[in-house]
């Protein structure tokens, strides 16, 4: 085919747009085969117009349009090494050690050989490079899966299979039923009548319902003769344009570590200056006596210059105070934590064989510090499976069940559903219990038939669209359905009575949490429709103001509609949503729901999820239509909130953590009681303005629950950014559709649900799983453990390095500040990468203070992470002081013991090499004992790594001090025979023992008193665990009992059978007078008071721990 087609496109900042184009998604059509033409295009920053010739690659190539290849990887084989090295040396620590390596090559200032720095530096860089290469390999693999998908492209007048990455702008493509779409497309022709096709755009906007697309009028009649055309390519597709910018996410611990490393640099410089000044003074006062001995000529070396060289020498010697292996150790620990998430069987969704996946390895500990969760509703809290429940037809509700007295009753399992088996096309799994609907159909009720005909022609219950059809009598009807707020404005005035009645029905449906659509029609005159259709064709062919003219014509025909009724469908809550929300609330995590649903449905989901309760002091609804109204409503809500709090004299006090805001100071007051805020998208747009968002944020952060309804994807991201920027709080966003991608990328942590709406949310997320309920375990177990482990690792790591390094500082005062090292150079090289690396990694990967079940049962354990209690600047200084004390003990006890002492054989043992071996051995034993004291959860690996590291130390020590290796490398191993000579002396072992006891006993005494006098909740639960373990052997857990009920909840969001009565009863779900529970025993869900038991269980556990010293529950 050689027909020429020209197309003009207008591109927008948010992504390219083609009128009538097919969105990226899943193409569906009732027909078996369909021929379509699609159009690929590319968006550039300043591009406002594009001309493309169909099926002419040579012509289109001169515009240099982008190809259709997707790139998410960072490297290739040629660029990996230079780019990765450049990225790694952007880290301050790596660049610092590279400079140290250069300094060590200068003989005048280096008392250490170059391998002491290059060995750990190369090891760190290599391990990081391997990790980066592995991550990028999987990105390449993912890209190739998409790029190598096949599509049929018209090339040389023949349809040929072509890979997606080779599709070009202007290509003609053929798509068949249920095929994925390769790019953004413009429909030219379809095998369906009137040039129609039906598209599912779940991966773009999260909607699973089908959308209708019309072919261009000038090409629609060609049908299969055209065969097909191609559209928006690669990074310019709507999908890629709406994904938002990928941001580099770093944890708060990462930022704190960078600050601390800079402080350590400063501390190192101060130590170097002190020792350099000492060297200058010593050289000027005492050094003259050694010039002859050292073969120095008079005046050859001044004291100032000597001090200058000494400064750099000590910078090299003391460099280990800056931990080069810190970053790689952190990455290894995070990798281990990520695998634990991937391997967690309790987060595996067996129905669809979907495991939890940690898609990043850099954010695990931040999961233990979440303060705000921003959640989508449809598909995230709910199942996103729409079930037809009720309808209102001509003022009558169908779907309810009544008794003999015509009173509405609950639908029970004994109730017989309507038999649809007479229709072979009926869905076998669909159940409908109101027999009146079938009776009306059999009686030939014209309104019921019209209603069902409209639904049948529009294909899905949830679609919002219009259809013009001609019935067998030749009459043209316009069928329309959509949101009641829009459709009711287009009704004929004669519908006033029916409108009022249907509005009441819609409110009733929404109050039950059902999603609703209004249904209407209009009879069209044949002459009028022909004229209107001709004007529509002219508008479609117009080159100027095309969209405005088309919109005006649709507005003209969509008026004077006659109301038929409304539909109501149910989207049930996912299993475990209520328990998860309740547990996270007890962990002091605030959950904000950001949904596009109408306000009534949003409020209902709040009550269904236990986010809203009848016992709340107030629920503030913000619905202003302009900035002034919104500001006034926010002001009144704050006055109401503060006024009510002044009147309360008792109750549970919730005090917000005070934080400095970048806006005007927002003073957080003590709030008594629970409040909720509900705001719609229109009001939110005004509230997010610079002069109003201060009030919005202050009010929202004082409320227990915030629900934003009718919000756009952009507004979701703006709300997240608002809290991130001005609250200085760690945020998490969770969603399942592409319309949640911007929100997921904006939050500190993004979680994607593998649900009904494609994989775009998952691909953009940091963590993914199949069900919302797994969020509880992700945060309260994996997140809390990761934070706990990382904090213990950092505390120990800094302590260890300061204890190891500062011995050189004290030794400087006794060696004339000559930059002589205390230890053997090989010990300095191997201390961090061999002798002490594995034990601290084992603790950082496997340690846990309480079990996973207790972490879930006591959500209050999560709060230390929110308050940064386990590792902060204060904790860092404590670790530094601990390391300084240990270094003093390590140096001065052996120094005092060696002063003028003789060995058992009468020989003098106070030599430098024996002193170095004694201190090195003491150091290895002290830090090993210290990490044993720090370990809360012992595994076989911990035992092997801790005690094995000590064994490895002695093995390497005796090997390097042996005659054999000295004979091979005499210059590198000068401590020949010293280990055997020193460690056979009993007095040496007594010195080591005394040093170890003096180092660890103060720590043991302090921790014993602290746990006994001021135990934390974690200490109390650990004590209880030990008591339970000693009291009786582990018993098998009783099987969970489920309440058997013959009553089925008709509540829209009931997540399973049996809870509808509890939710709709109006009773508060918070504990009032719950029965006593026993410790941390798992609550059995055999009554409607399980939420009360959960809340009470936690408070009883805390009080029992604090009151009962024996921890007998």
Residues with active-site annotation: 376
Positions of E strands within 321-400: 357-358, 370-375, 387-393, 396-398
Alpha carbons 731 and 363: distance in angstroms, whole number? 12
Alpha carbons 953 and 965: distance in angstroms, whole number? 16
Cβ density class 952-963: b for 16+ within 10 Å, e for less: bbeebbeebbbe
How would you classify residue 406: left for phi > 0, otherwise alpha for psi between -120 and 50, otherwise beta? left
Length of the chain: 1113
Q: How far is CA 40 from CA 47, 50, 202, in A?
A: 15, 11, 20
Alpha carbons 19 and 29: distance in angstroms, whole number? 20
Q: Which helix (H) or strand (E) holds 548?
A: helix 546-557
Positions of E strands within 355-506: 357-358, 370-375, 387-393, 396-398, 401-402, 408-409, 465-470, 476-482
Angle between helices 837-846 and 940-960 (to 10 degrees): 170
Structure tokens at 961: 């001090």
With beta carbons less than 8 A apart as the criterion, state whether 777 and 770 touch: no
With beta carbons less than 8 A apart as the criterion, state whether 717 and 701 touch: no
Sequence-distant (≥ 6) Cβ neighbours of residue 962 within 8 angstroms: 976, 977
Sequence-distant (≥ 6) Cβ neighbours of residue 31 within 8 angstroms: 177, 191, 192
* Sequential DSSP letters for 291-341: TTTTTPPTTSS-HHHHHHHHHHHHHHHGGGGS-TTHHHHHHHHHHHHHHHH
Nearest to 375, CA basis, from 701, 735, 681, 680: 735
Query: What does residue 818 show for φ and ψ, rounded to 5 degrees?
Result: -90, 5
Q: How far is CA 948 from CA 145, 168, 237, 839, in A?
A: 45, 61, 56, 9
Give, in degrees to the nearest 5, the angle at Cα 652 between 381 and 857.
50
Give the N- to C-terminal CA distance of the chain in Å, as an integer. Answer: 83
With beta carbons less than 8 A apart as the criterion, state whether 834 and 952 touch: yes
Q: Is the dihedral of CA 63, 67, 73, 77 positive or negative?
A: negative
Give the DSSP letter of residue 651. Answer: S
Q: Is the dihedral of CA 266, 267, 271, 274 positive or negative?
A: positive
């Amino acid at each position: 085919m050689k027909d020429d087609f020209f197309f003009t496109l207008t591109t927008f900042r948010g992504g390219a747009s083609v009128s009538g184009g097919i969105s990226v998604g899943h193409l569906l059509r009732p027909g078996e085969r369909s021929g379509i033409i699609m159009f690929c295009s590319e968006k550039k920053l300043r591009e406002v117009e594009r001309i493309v010739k169909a099926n002419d690659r040579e012509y289109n190539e001169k515009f240099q349009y982008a190809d259709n290849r997707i790139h998410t990887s960072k490297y290739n084989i040629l660029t990996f090494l230079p780019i990765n090295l450049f990225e790694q040396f952007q880290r301050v620590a790596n660049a610092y050690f590279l400079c140290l390596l250069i300094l060590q090559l200068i003989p005048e200032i280096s008392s250490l050989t170059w391998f002491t720095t290059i060995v750990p530096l190369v090891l760190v860089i290599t391990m990081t490079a391997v990790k980066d290469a592995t991550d990028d390999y999987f990105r390449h693999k993912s890209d190739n899966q998409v790029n190598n998908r096949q599509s049929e492209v018209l090339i040389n007048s023949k349809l040929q299979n072509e890979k997606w990455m080779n599709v070009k702008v202007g290509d003609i493509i053929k798509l068949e039923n249920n095929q994925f779409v390769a790019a953004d497309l413009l429909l030219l022709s379809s095998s369906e009548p009137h040039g129609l096709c039906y598209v599912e755009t779940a991966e773009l906007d999260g909607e699973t319902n089908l959308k209708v697309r019309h072919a261009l009028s000038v090409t629609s009649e060609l049908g299969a003769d055209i065969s097909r055309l191609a559209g928006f390519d690669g990074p310019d597709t709507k999908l890629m344009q709406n994904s938002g910018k990928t941001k580099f996410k770093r944890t708060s611990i990462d930022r704190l570590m960078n600050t601390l490393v800079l402080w350590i640099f400063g501390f190192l410089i101060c130590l170097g200056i002190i020792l350099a000044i000492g060297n200058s003074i010593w050289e000027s006062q005492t050094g003259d006596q050694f010039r002859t001995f050292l073969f120095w000529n008079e005046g050859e070396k001044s004291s100032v210059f000597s001090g200058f060289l000494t400064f750099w020498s000590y910078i090299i010697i003391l460099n280990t105070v800056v931990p080069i292996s810190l970053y790689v150790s952190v990455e290894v620990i995070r990798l281990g934590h990520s695998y634990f998430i991937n391997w967690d069987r309790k987060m595996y969704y067996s129905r669809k064989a979907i495991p939890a996946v940690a898609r990043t390895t850099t954010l695990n500990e931040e999961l233990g510090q979440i303060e705000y969760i921003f959640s989508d509703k449809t598909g995230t809290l709910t199942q996103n499976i729409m079930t037809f429940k009720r309808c209102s037809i001509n003022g009558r509700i169908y779907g309810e069940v009544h008794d003999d007295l015509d009173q509405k009753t609950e639908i029970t399992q004994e109730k017989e559903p309507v038999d649809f088996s007479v229709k072979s096309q009926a869905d076998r799994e669909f159940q409908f219990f109101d027999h009146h609907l079938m009776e009306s159909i059999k009686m030939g009720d014209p309104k019921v038939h019209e209603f069902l005909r409209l639904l049948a022609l529009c294909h899905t219950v949830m679609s919002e669209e219009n259809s013009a059809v001609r019935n067998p009598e030749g009459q043209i009807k316009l069928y329309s359905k959509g949101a009641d707020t829009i459709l009711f404005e287009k009704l004929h005035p004669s519908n006033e009575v029916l409108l009022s009645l249907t509005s009441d029905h819609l409110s009733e449906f929404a109050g039950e949490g059902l999603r609703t659509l209004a249904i209407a029609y209009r009879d069209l005159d044949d002459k009028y429709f022909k004229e209107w259709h001709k004007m529509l064709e002219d508008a479609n062919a117009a080159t100027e103001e095309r969209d405005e003219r088309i919109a005006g014509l649709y507005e003209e025909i969509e008026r004077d509609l006659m109301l038929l009724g409304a539909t109501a469908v149910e989207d049930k809550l996912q299993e475990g949503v209520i328990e998860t929300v309740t547990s996270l609330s007890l962990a002091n995590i605030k959950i904000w729901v950001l949904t596009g649903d109408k306000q009534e449905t949003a409020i209902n989901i709040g009550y269904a999820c236990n986010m809203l309760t009848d016992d709340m002091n107030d629920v503030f609804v913000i619905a202003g239509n302009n900035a002034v109204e919104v500001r006034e409503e926010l002001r009144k809500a704050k006055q109401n909130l503060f006024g009510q709090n002044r009147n309360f004299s008792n109750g549970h006090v919730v005090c917000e953590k005070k934080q400095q805001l970048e806006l005007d100071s927002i003073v957080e007051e003590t709030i008594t009681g629970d409040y909720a805020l509900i705001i719609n998208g229109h009001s939110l747009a005004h509230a997010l303005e610079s002069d109003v968002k201060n009030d919005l944020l202050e009010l929202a952060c004082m409320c227990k629950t915030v629900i934003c309804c009718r919000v756009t994807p952009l507004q979701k991201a703006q709300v997240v950014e608002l809290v991130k920027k001005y609250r200085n709080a760690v945020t998490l966003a969770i969603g399942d559709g592409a319309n949640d991608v911007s929100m997921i990328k904006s939050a500190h942590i993004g979680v994607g649900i593998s649900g009904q709406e494609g994989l775009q949310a998952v691909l953009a997320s940091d963590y993914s799983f199949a069900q919302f309920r797994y969020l509880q375990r992700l945060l309260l177990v994996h997140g809390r453990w990761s934070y706990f482990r990382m904090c213990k690792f950092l505390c120990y790591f800094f302590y260890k390095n300061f204890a190891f390094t500062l011995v050189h500082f004290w030794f400087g005062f006794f060696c004339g500040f000559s930059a002589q090292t205390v230890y053997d150079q090989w010990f300095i090289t191997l201390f961090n990468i061999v002798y002490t690396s594995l034990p601290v990694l084992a603790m950082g990967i496997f340690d846990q203070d309480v079990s996973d079940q207790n972490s879930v049962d006591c959500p209050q354990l999560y709060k230390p992470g929110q308050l940064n209690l386990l590792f902060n600047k204060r904790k860092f200084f404590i670790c530094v002081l601990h390391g300084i004390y240990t270094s003093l003990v390590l140096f001065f006890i052996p120094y005092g013991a060696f002063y003028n002492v003789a060995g058992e054989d009468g020989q003098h043992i106070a030599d430098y090499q024996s002193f170095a071996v004694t201190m090195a051995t003491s150091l290895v034993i002290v830090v090993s004992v210290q990490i044993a004291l720090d370990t809360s959860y012992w595994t076989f690996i911990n035992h092997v790594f801790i005690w094995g590291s000590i064994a490895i130390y002695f093995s390497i020590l005796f090997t390097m001090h042996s005659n054999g290796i000295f004979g091979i490398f005499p210059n590198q191993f000068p401590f020949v025979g010293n280990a055997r000579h020193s460690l056979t002396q009993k007095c040496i072992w007594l010195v080591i023992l005394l040093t170890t006891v003096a180092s660890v006993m103060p720590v043991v005494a302090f921790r014993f008193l602290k746990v006994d006098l001021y135990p934390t909740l974690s200490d109390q639960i650990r004590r209880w665990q030990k008591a339970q373990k000693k009291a009786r052997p582990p018993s098998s857990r009783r099987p969970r009992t489920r309440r058997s009920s013959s009553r089925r909840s008709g509540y829209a969001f009931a997540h399973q059978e049996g809870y509808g009565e509890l939710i709709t009863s109006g009773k508060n779900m918070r504990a009032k007078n719950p029965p006593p529970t026993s410790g941390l025993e798992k609550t059995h869900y055999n009554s409607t008071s399980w939420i009360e038991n959960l809340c009470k269980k936690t408070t009883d556990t805390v009080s029992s721990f604090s009151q009962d010293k024996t921890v007998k529950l």
